Amino acid sequence: PLGRRARTGGNSCVQSRLSGGGDPDSRFTVIVNTFKRPKNLRAAIRHYEKCPEVDAIRVVWSEQDQEPPIPGVDADASMFSECVEVRYDAHPTSSLSNRFAPLADLRTQAVFNVDDDVNVLCKDLAGAHKMWRQTPEVLVGFIPRIHIKDPATEGAYLYRRWWTVFLKGSFSIILTKACFMHRDYLEMYTTTVPQAVIQHIDKSRNCEDIAMQFVVSNVTDKPSVWVDGRYTDSGALDGISTTGIVQHRKTRDECITMFGHAFGRMPLVYGEHYVTRAGSWTSFISPP
């Protein structure tokens, strides 16, 4: 694997060391979820290779009609990095749950799960990682959502976005499109999520992120942590699993309700705290 190096201009990199030295807890692995969007993936690699705490970039490769890029092949050179190890993990299906498959040879406890169209500022990513190290048992991320009871249907729930989070002053879901988690949750997702939930995700092409929040909340009975951070999200209306705002929300309403039945309870826990730096106006400038 490539050592930690810092880009100095052009394609050259010089060896550098983090203050944490060889301590794996001082670094994290970026897991990039992508699907047939090479431009987005290339941009994500170029962005996250610059973040000094990144130990490696692992790409979730679910394309069935295209082999992943090959290291050492000139035509694929832009899909790798001179600064960090980039490794492609190919899967035999296109399931959205592939993003949570356990990964061999991970060197870090922390993994940052991110969509290929979301780029978080390196400084804010480092701050979120520090927060995660204080609470490694929960999800720590940048994009909160909330579930509420459906007043029209007994036992049903609704999925709501930022403005409901703001108005209610609480959240219960951290989206895994930009989220730190402990690597053990990859194994837990794969081995404990009810098969009916996996099938529902595959059928709807949606909600694997909500399922991961169910897994973590079901184990910890603790709220996740929402952290301040600046990021770009070019897939807010055209993401890997989005199908239009109205249908997307309806599908996620159904997911939360169905997952609650499958897990035998509603494990999602409301949180009220937002971790931010003093003087930061990020959430007001660009609501998540």
User: Which sequence positions are flagged as catalytic?
Assistant: 209
Which positions ≥6 away from 165 have C-beta within 8 Å? Answer: 144, 145, 146, 171
Q: How far apart are CA 234 and CA 118, in angstroms?
A: 7
Chain centroid to CA 152: 32
Q: How many residues would you count in the chain?
A: 288
